[in-house]
Structure 1
Amino acid sequence: MSDTSPAEAFEAQRDRLRAVAYRVLGSHADAEDVVQEAWLRLSRQDTATIHNLTGWLTTVVGRISLDVLRSRQAHPQAFYDELVVTADDGPVPEDDVALTDSIGLALLVVLESLRPNERLAFVLHDLFAVPFEEIGRILGKSTAATKMLASRARGKVQATGGSTVAGREQRKVVEAFLAAARHGDFEGLLRVLDPEVKLTVDTGDGVVVVLGATKVAAGARLSASGVHGQAVLVNGLPGIVAWRADGTPLSVVAFTVIDGRIVGIAVVTDPAKLASIDLPEPGR
């Protein structure tokens, strides 16, 4: 390492490390925790043994982030730091800033549907140009296997698309799901649900996770009655807001659609969180 002090060298890297952790984890709070842990590990390290500080810190942040992702599988939590909800009627020029934010958040939602190894490989390589050899060392996999993970993740991300055509196709899948739910069409639900679909419900009292098309379809049939929904974009992805008769929001739902199947459904019913979201007026 150079003659620069460890603290100064770390501060020069902090913003990049925070960006890496945030893209991997989708949470500003978790990203800050990861970066702080990386600093603690650096402070305990003999810096004379570090020949490439950037690579060393990236590896440490990657490994800590991977541990966090794996922990989430065992202890599910809501993954949204923020929700951007807009009417699903096409952007207008003055919405450009909100649209840009929404697209960035949409990527985070799509990344949530990836397995931890896929997510880390894609983010580090495609977004931060970390060589596959370094990522392989973090994952404990060969370079070839790491390339395969990133390629698989890239395909899933690209399948969601960002174009108007892709958005329309995704909305059609969501509409088919909602129609099947309203009519109790179990087979119809299974046709649009990925076999490994993940349903996450943020209730405010905790996060409930349901895995698998059969279980999600059964729950959708039970919850469909009495729901008056409005099509919206949630973090850039197709979604709905369900309203009570008095005009207060009941829930916000976001759908992640890949290759014509719903792979993820994220539901927020927490009244406090719903009250904090800037929602379009009912009926707009």
Structure 2
Amino acid sequence: MDRLTLAEQFEEHRPRLLAVATRALGARADGEDVVQEAWLRLDRYDGPPIRNLGGWLTRVVGRICIDVLRSRTAHPETDLDDADPVVTEDVDGPEDAAVAADTVGLALMVVLESLRPEERLAFVLHDLFAVPFAEIGPVVGRSADAAKMLASRARRRVQEQPLPTVRRQRREVVDAFLTAAHGGDFEALLRLLDPEVVWSRRTARGRVVSVGADEVLSLARRGSGADIVARRVSVNGEPGILVWSRSGRPLALMACTVVDGRIVELDSIVDSRRLAGMDLPAP
């Protein structure tokens, strides 16, 4: 097969490969790197004829993903270079529905991060992309039955995780949080925050993680009365908060994970240079 034909066939599989890698790794930029590496391996391949190119590419992408996940475990990063989130007006409409359908929920991503690489990939391939276990086995280096057990364990972990409330209720919680913060009602804020809320702040210097409602309350007290504008937006299909200065300069973007009427995670970007380069709604 000539190189041009091979490239054309690869491009036909690219969208699905990118979706698999992005969901397995949790970041589109990482997914794109994996797909590019898969193309390089295909371009260099000089073995026997490939009878099922889609299956061959899925195995290659899966194995590269496992290597990346293992590397993360061995060498955890302090500054995750995630792709910029999709931020839009938080209204019901086709764009928001498409974003929500195309994004793995934050609660699910929290669970995936806790799984072993093989469990994570087996779950993603089978439950999200309907890949048969007979094909998943070679990807994770196990038999089909063992791959089924890996996916089953991962599925139980996902099902045990408290799922976020429906979208309208999540919006109401975020709106109540904004109202309480603006009014300096710290008792109301405390009721809206899970006692063990996880607050991640992505700064120009790296990622800082704090645990506990007191950390969030401390920030709210420092910002009380500040001359800023804050409102609810959609962050990767989930309700979040965008904060601007009065001059219209973005100061912070927060994705909010709401479970059982309380905010359990705040994932924020406070890097002014990164925010300035993002496509954000107007204040």
Same fold (TM over 0.5): yes
* Distance of 1:71 and 1:170 partners within structure 2: 35
* Distance of 2:80 and 2:130 partners within structure 1: 29
Match of 2:207 in 1: 208
Unpaired runs of 5+ residues, structure 2, are none
Shift of residue 222, structure 1, vs aligned partner: 2.1
Aligned residue runs from structure 1 range 1-284, under 5 A: 4=1, 8-9=5-6, 11-13=8-10, 14-15=13-14, 16-43=16-43, 47-48=47-48, 52-72=52-72, 74-75=76-77, 76-86=79-89, 88=90, 90-91=91-92, 95-96=93-94, 98-104=95-101, 106-107=103-104, 109-116=106-113, 117=115, 119-139=120-140, 142=146, 143-150=148-155, 152-153=157-158, 159-160=163-164, 166-174=166-174, 179=180, 188=190, 192=194, 195=196, 198-203=198-203, 205-210=204-209, 215-225=211-221, 226=223, 228=228, 229-260=230-261, 262-282=263-283
Relative to structure 1, the CA distance from residue 79 to residue 155 in structure 2 (aligned partners, 3 Å threshold; closer, same or farther) is farther
Relative to structure 1, the CA distance from residue 67 to residue 220 in structure 2 (aligned partners, 3 Å threshold; closer, same or farther) is farther
* Distance of 1:248 and 1:109 partners within structure 2: 27
Q: How many residues align?
A: 262
Relative to structure 1, the CA distance from residue 241 to residue 150 in structure 2 (aligned partners, 3 Å threshold; closer, same or farther) is same
Farther-moved stretch of structure 1 (243-252 vs 184-193): 184-193
Shift of residue 125, structure 1, vs aligned partner: 1.7
Unpaired runs of 5+ residues, structure 1, are none
Relative to structure 1, the CA distance from residue 191 to residue 30 in structure 2 (aligned partners, 3 Å threshold; closer, same or farther) is closer
Output the amino acid matched with 1:210.
V
* Distance of 1:260 and 1:64 partners within structure 2: 38
* Distance of 1:101 and 1:206 partners within structure 2: 33
Output the amino acid matched with 1:255.
C
Output the amino acid matched with 2:171.
R
* Distance of 1:78 and 1:259 partners within structure 2: 30
Relative to structure 1, the CA distance from residue 139 to residue 272 in structure 2 (aligned partners, 3 Å threshold; closer, same or farther) is same
Contact residue 200 and residue 268 of structure 2 kept, 8 A: yes
Contact residue 77 and residue 206 of structure 1 kept, 8 A: no
CA RMSD of superposed structures (Å): 3.8
Contact residue 122 and residue 150 of structure 2 kept, 8 A: no
* Distance of 1:109 and 1:83 partners within structure 2: 13
Contact residue 250 and residue 275 of structure 2 kept, 8 A: yes
Contact residue 194 and residue 213 of structure 2 kept, 8 A: no
Sequence identity percentage: 42
Farther-moved stretch of structure 1 (246-255 vs 14-23): 14-23
Shift of residue 253, structure 1, vs aligned partner: 0.6
